Amino acid sequence: MKKKNLQNLRSLNNLEHEVEETYLLIQALETQAFTTKEFLELIKAKDRPGYKEFKKFLEISDKQINKLNELGFIALFANFECFVFELLKDLFKKYPTSFKSEKIAKFEDIKDFKNIKEVKDFFIDSLAIEKSYDIERWANLLLQKFGIAIFKKKKELSLLLALNSLRNIIMHSGSKTTSKFRKEMKSFIKVPVPIGKPFKPDMKKYFTTLYNILRTLIKNIKKS
């Protein structure tokens, strides 16, 4: 597989665009919040009549900024998760001899398809879903089948798995820690994480870290 083929993959270009757009949006909103705060202080808005009525729409607290970065973190992971699936679809379509499906289709699954291409797309879509649930297995598949070393260093994979664990507790357990989270974050947090407790870190740090690791993965793929 030639380098130029990887650079032209639709899924890779989409990921790069979405990651940059997400990052710039969060940065812009945070900058606007800071600028508004400075402006309100400059004009002494708090001393003006009726300010209290609009205070909640104008003042952005540090807690809200942290929440903004958390939302950006989740959005970046959504960008990545879409890419994991779409990249496999792109590769299976481009290199159809690279996969074999053991899936047996039921008549109900394919009875409305008009031609063999639609049936083939069905199998590719199903296989891409099946192979995109686990990040580590997905990375191994890319390396073995397509020669794509998406992780150049072991630390890159470990870091992404840790960030994925953080994403999971935010999404599924109200940010309360789990044993899996404690294990995967062990290399990145000096103080041991207690299990079953709310984890409220500086999300700007994790948002920026995820952004940087995704940019690294994009570069790794282009160089494969």
The domain total for the chain is 1
pLDDT digits (tens, 9 = 90+) for 38-92: 888 888 878 788 877 777 778 888 999 999 999 999 999 999 999 999 999 899 8
Per-residue confidence at 101, pLDDT binned at 50, 70, 90? low
Q: Where are the alpha helices (DSSP H) in 43-146?
A: 51-58, 62-94, 107-110, 116-130, 135-146
Residue 108 has pLDDT above 70, yes or no: no
The reported pTM is 0.84
Q: Which residue has the higher pLDDT, 169 or 53?
A: 169
Residue 34 has pLDDT above 70, yes or no: yes
Reference 9, options 150, 127, 140, 117; nearest CA is: 150
Residue 1 has pLDDT above 50, yes or no: no
Q: What is the CA radius of gyration of the chain?
A: 22
> Stretch 86-101: mean pLDDT, rounded?
81
Domain range for 47: 3-223
Q: How many residues does the chain have?
A: 224
pLDDT digits (tens, 9 = 90+) for 110-132: 667 667 677 677 777 777 878 87
Percent of the chain with pLDDT over 90: 41
Residue 160 has pLDDT above 90, yes or no: yes
pLDDT of residue 185: 82
Rounded Cα–Cα distance for residues 132 and 126 (Å):
10
Calculate ∠ Cα 119-121-127, nearest 5°.
105
